[in-house]
């Protein structure tokens, strides 16, 4: 196995996931088999192949996606933006404390 | 008026000629939905007030004898990954269980401006991640052609509703095959346009460089009509293309005589079910019979498309889904002491297994020390895949293949094996990676009566040819 419990714990931490013990065990197995499958990409020599940056506009049609004018426009009113908040007060989203004592 | 066989064109003329009213169509559609949805589970939310108000507007126009807009009174459903102002939008996830969007997706707004009646929102795999609709937090969708089978995914509800006659047409989204594969499994038409052709504004992001909106319909003509309504530049999406939008209905009707069609040998190899192969080959022979020239082509990097896709799609998803943290909208865990706990608990409690798996895979692929080996490598292979198509399109105007290697499989059959499930997209992912348009059109049935789809792929911004070939397949399939 190339993926260890430690790898899964590290990546879960990066991804802001906790995962149960059962989920972690399953994740080790699944990631391992999917990454082994992905490894077949190494059969290809891509040393001189540029990475894809944009799928369209690569055929001399760079005018296809021009930037829009940088002009101010109204944004969502506070009241609307807060409507879906699990907790809010005045113009702010409420969250549990950020710094522990 | 039988709502189960209406098309867009026949709906509009029926209303204009006063054979029915938009209100009557809405009523009969909801009647059908309420009778059949408990079993099929294609709809997650109905918006009856919004639908009725729009239908009344269309009836008033018809009563005055005013010209009707192109989609007047057409009952439609929207995959629940497109936001609808004031109408709950879940993305098939518990994390958005009670999310009420403050704005409309551009594609949906354009449909309504053209007279369409939005009946409600369609079930789908959570965040459009899946090929069977079994990953929805709201339960699987059943295939109306055989209720023990999946409808495909991720736009499973959208395909099933059209097949079952619960909507004349629906919108789906396609990131790796999510419009075309369910269209194939349910025996309907599913069109994924060129990347950038239809604005993604208001489409809940899965993988931004791969996400597309497109229609699922009962006919190629209906797909052409809907594409024209939704296509065209939108300043709200920076990847939306400023390219002319042709009259697809006119383009679609042109004959295929003299058109060169490529058949890539890599799409007819191991893993393709014999019955699917036979139906697709028979359709290709019919295309040849009406004057298309069949040209063998090669897309040599095809076998690398699925692994490339699962690096790029998951990497982008891991970034896009970072926004679900329980702060501004969506599910918030109630048992958290600190902010960091709240992020984790909310995500842990409300994301499903497949979404977590993909976030983990994508985070791993982007993590320090692995970025070059996975993400950059995959983007280089993506260039090779694009070159395969550029080369083939030097020789041919379009490419024809099976849409999926099999017909619809049984519910539960692949649910425990993520890799086997990923291979259901083997013929569809490449078009997403390369940004070219593709359509799935019914081309036959298996001996047990399950639909089989044929896929047509075309050049960037050449949906016209894709629709034209699909129309020929559809026309010459008639007995």
pLDDT tens-digit map of B60-104: 999 999 899 999 999 999 999 999 999 999 999 999 999 999 999
Please check the confidence at residue A10 and state whether its pLDDT lies above 70.
yes
- The alpha-carbon gap from B115 to the nearest alpha carbon of chain A, in Å, equals 26
Contact (CB<8Å) B378/A80: no
Nearest to B283 by CA among B401, B125, B410: B401
Contact (CB<8Å) B360/A15: yes
State the greatest distance between any 2 C-alpha atoms of chain B, in Å, as a whole number: 71
Low-confidence ranges of chain B (pLDDT < 70): 478-479
- The alpha-carbon gap from A32 to the nearest alpha carbon of chain B, in Å, equals 10
Tell me, yes or no, whether A84 lies in a domain: no
| Residues on chain A touching B381 (C-beta within 8 angstroms) | 41, 44, 46, 49
- A45 to chain B: nearest residue by CA? B381
Tell me, yes or no, whether A63 lies in a domain: no
pLDDT of residue B479: 46
Interatomic CA distance for residues B298 and B314, integer angstroms: 28
> What is the distance of C-alpha B418 from the center of its chain?
21
Residue A92 in contact with partner chain B when CB distance is under 8 A = no
Beta strands at B117-122 and B75-79: parallel, antiparallel or unpaired: parallel
Cα distance between the two ends of chain B: 25
Tell me, yes or no, whether A13 lies in a domain: yes
Tell me, yes or no, whether A10 lies in a domain: yes
* CATH number of the CATH domain containing A36: 1.10.20.60
Interatomic CA distance for residues B108 and B213, integer angstroms: 10
Residue A38 in contact with partner chain B when CB distance is under 8 A = yes
> What domains lie within chain B, and their CATH numbers?
8-252 (3.90.1300.10)
Q: Using CB atoms, pick whichever of A39, A40, A95 lies closest to residue B342.
A: A95
Tell me, yes or no, whether A57 lies in a domain: no
| Residues on chain A touching B364 (C-beta within 8 angstroms) | 7, 11, 31, 35
- The alpha-carbon gap from B179 to the nearest alpha carbon of chain A, in Å, equals 19
Please state whether the peptide bond connecting residue B154 to the residue before it is cis, i.e. omega within 30 degrees of 0: yes
Tell me, yes or no, whether A9 lies in a domain: yes
- The alpha-carbon gap from A38 to the nearest alpha carbon of chain B, in Å, equals 5
Tell me, yes or no, whether A83 lies in a domain: no
Tell me, yes or no, whether A89 lies in a domain: no
pTM over 0.80: yes
CA dihedral sign, ordered B235, B238, B239, B241: positive
Determine the 3-state secondary structure of B82 from DSSP.
strand
Residue A8 in contact with partner chain B when CB distance is under 8 A = yes
Which tokens hold the place of B242? 């400023």
CA dihedral sign, ordered B172, B190, B416, A36: negative
Beta strands at B117-122 and B43-46: parallel, antiparallel or unpaired: antiparallel
Give me the residues paired with residue B173 across strands.
B213
Q: How many domains does chain A have?
A: 1
State the greatest distance between any 2 C-alpha atoms of chain A, in Å, as a whole number: 58
Distances, alpha carbon B206 to alpha carbons B125, B140, B156, B193, B415, in Å? 11, 20, 16, 17, 21
Q: Using CB atoms, pick whichever of A37, A40, A65 lies closest to residue B419.
A: A37
pLDDT of residue B423: 87
Is the distance from CB of B240 to CB of B121 less than 8 angstroms?
Answer: no
pLDDT of residue A37: 95
| Residues on chain B touching A38 (C-beta within 8 angstroms) | 307, 310-311, 374
Interatomic CA distance for residues B133 and B92, integer angstroms: 9
Q: Using CB atoms, pick whichever of B353, B381, B434 lies closest to residue A44.
A: B381
Range of the domain at A5: 1-45
Radius of gyration of chain B (CA): 21
pLDDT tens-digit map of A26-65: 999 999 999 999 999 999 999 999 999 888 765 555 568 8
């Amino acid at each position: 196995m190339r993926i260890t419990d430690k790898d899964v714990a590290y990546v879960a931490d990066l991804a802001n996931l906790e995962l149960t013990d059962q989920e972690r065990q399953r994740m080790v197995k699944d990631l391992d088999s999917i990454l082994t499958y992905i490894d077949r990409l190494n059969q290809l020599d891509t040393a001189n192949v540029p990475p894809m940056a944009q799928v369209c506009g690569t055929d001399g049609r760079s005018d296809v996606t021009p930037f829009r004018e940088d002009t101010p426009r109204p944004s969502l009113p506070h009241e609307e933006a807060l409507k879906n908040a699990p907790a809010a007060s005045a113009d702010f989203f409420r969250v549990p404390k950020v710094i522990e004592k | 008026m039988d709502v189960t066989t209406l098309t867009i064109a026949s709906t509009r003329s029926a209303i204009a000629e006063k054979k029915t009213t938009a209100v009557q169509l809405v009523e009969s559609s909801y009647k059908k939905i309420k009778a059949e949805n408990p079993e099929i589970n294609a709809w997650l939310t109905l918006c009856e007030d919004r639908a009725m108000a729009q239908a009344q507007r269309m009836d008033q126009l018809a009563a005055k004898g005013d010209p009707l807009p192109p989609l007047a009174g057409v009952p439609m459903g929207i995959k629940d990954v497109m936001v609808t102002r004031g109408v709950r939008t879940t993305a098939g996830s518990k994390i958005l269980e009670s999310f009420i969007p403050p704005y409309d997706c551009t594609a949906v707004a354009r449909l309504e401006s053209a007279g369409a009646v939005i009946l409600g929102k369609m079930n789908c795999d959570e965040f459009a991640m899946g090929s069977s609709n079994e990953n929805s937090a709201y339960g699987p969708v059943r295939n109306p052609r055989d209720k023990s089978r999946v409808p495909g995914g991720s736009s499973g509800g959208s395909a099933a509703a059209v097949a079952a006659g619960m909507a004349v047409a629906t919108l789906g989204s396609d990131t790796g095959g999510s419009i075309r594969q369910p269209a194939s499994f349910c025996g309907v038409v599913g069109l994924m346009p060129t990347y950038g052709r239809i604005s993604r504004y208001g489409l809940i992001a899965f993988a931004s460089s791969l996400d597309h909106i497109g229609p699922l319909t009962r006919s190629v003509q209906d797909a052409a009509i809907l594409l024209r309504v939704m296509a065209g530049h939108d300043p709200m999406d920076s990847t939306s293309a400023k390219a002319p939008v042709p009259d697809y209905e006119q383009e679609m009707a042109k004959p295929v005589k003299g058109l060169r069609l490529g058949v890539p040998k890599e799409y007819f190899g191991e893993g393709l079910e014999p019955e699917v192969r036979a139906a697709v080959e028979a359709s290709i022979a019919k295309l040849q019979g009406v004057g298309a020239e069949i040209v063998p082509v090669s897309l040599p990097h095809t076998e690398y498309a699925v692994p490339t896709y699962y690096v790029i799609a998951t990497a982008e998803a891991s970034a896009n889904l970072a926004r679900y943290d329980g702060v501004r909208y969506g599910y918030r865990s109630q048992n958290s002491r600190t902010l960091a706990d709240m992020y984790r608990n909310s995500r842990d409690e409300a994301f499903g297994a497949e979404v977590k798996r993909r976030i983990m895979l994508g985070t791993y692929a982007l993590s320090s020390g692995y970025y070059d080996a996975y993400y950059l490598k995959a983007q280089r292979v993506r260039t090779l895949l694009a070159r395969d198509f550029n080369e083939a399109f030097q020789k041919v105007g379009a490419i024809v293949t099976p849409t999926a290697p099999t017909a619809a499989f049984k519910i539960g059959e692949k649910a425990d094996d993520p890799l086997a499930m990923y291979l259901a997209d083997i013929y569809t992912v490449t078009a997403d990676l390369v940004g070219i348009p593709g359509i799935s059109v019914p081309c036959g049935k298996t001996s047990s009566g399950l639909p089989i789809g044929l896929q047509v792929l075309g050049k960037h911004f050449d949906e016209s040819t894709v629709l034209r070939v699909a129309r020929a397949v559809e026309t010459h399939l008639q007995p």
